[in-house]
Amino acid sequence: MTDVPDTFAAYADGREDARFTDWLRARSEPDWTAAVDGRFVRELGTDRIDDDAFRRYLEQDYAFVETLTGTFGHALAEAPSMAAKGRLADFLGTLTSEENDYFERSFEALDGNPDADPDATTRAFVDLLERAGREGGYAETLAVLVPAEWMYETWATGVDSRPERFYLDEWIELHATPAFVEFVAWLRAELDREGAAASPRRQARLDRLFRRTVELERDFFDAAYENGNRT
């Protein structure tokens, strides 16, 4: 968090059109860069990732996706307008149909286990999502959903080449489609509005939730190599 003010008011001072989500992202460094430009993403984008590492990653992601779906459902219930509820409902449809189909085909190809037990990082992530929804409102839920989705959009749209293995290529494509990019932009705008209007105390809580999510995303990628060598 080099030279990043610890309050949004200080960050916005002297900046035209300062965005709350830009402040949160800057506050999350160096974990943000370590996740979106780390070993896992580099090897995925260049088709060099080991199948066992990617299988472990997918198994943990699948163990996590049910809670993620529930968190989006909570955001839908708390959303301040019917338009916002509609956007969230549309994305929930994607999570429960297109993405689930991808998991089924990929597990078959990789001999993966859709019932794998969650590891420590996944359990911590599940706990964070559940607490954000249980103890907070719309803004708190967005503070964990935005970094989770924004980080994926960031690394996926930054991949220059595409892998030959379908389960790698389609995983990138799912998070680089124009529809997903547009949805992430919308999510960010929602948190920008909610965060800027929040009290300083609540803004600090949103900052903590955002940074913890980024930290866990970094750990989530690293955990794929738990049985191999890390760099």
Q: Which residue has the higher pLDDT, 229 or 40?
A: 40
pLDDT per residue over 17-37, tens digit each? 999 999 999 999 999 999 999
Residue 75, CB half-sphere, CA atoms under 13 Å: how many?
Answer: 29
Residue 1 pLDDT > 60, yes or no? no
What's the predicted TM-score (pTM) here?
A: 0.92
DSSP code, position 224: G
Determine phi and psi for 15, rounding to 5 degrees.
Answer: -105, 130
pLDDT per residue over 210-220, tens digit each? 999 999 999 99
3-state secondary structure 63-83: HHHHHHHHHHHHHHHHCCCHH
Residue 228 pLDDT > 50, yes or no? no
Give the per-residue pLDDT at 125: 92
Give the per-residue pLDDT at 227: 54
Residue 41 pLDDT class (50, 70, 90 cuts): very high
Residue 187 pLDDT > 80, yes or no? yes
Residue 231 pLDDT class (50, 70, 90 cuts): very low
Q: What Å distances lie between residue 61 and 28, 49, 112, 217, 226, CA to CA?
A: 22, 16, 12, 11, 15
Angstrom distance (rounded) from CA 196 to CA 191? 8
pLDDT per residue over 51-65, tens digit each? 999 999 999 999 888
Residue 70 pLDDT class (50, 70, 90 cuts): confident
**Range with the lowest mean pLDDT among 64-68, 172-176, 203-207, 213-217?**
64-68
Angstrom distance (rounded) from CA 128 to CA 160? 32
Angstrom distance (rounded) from CA 193 to CA 181? 19
Residue 230 pLDDT class (50, 70, 90 cuts): very low
Angstrom distance (rounded) from CA 179 to CA 155? 16
Give the per-residue pLDDT at 229: 42
Written as six digits, the tokens of 87 are 């956007």
pLDDT per residue over 103-143, tens digit each? 999 999 999 999 999 999 999 999 998 888 888 899 999 99
Give the per-residue pLDDT at 162: 87
Preceding omega of 30 cis (within 30 degrees of 0)? yes
User: Please, what is the end-to-end C-alpha distance for the chain in angstroms?
Assistant: 23
Angstrom distance (rounded) from CA 42 to CA 221? 11
Q: Which residue has the higher pLDDT, 132 or 190?
A: 190
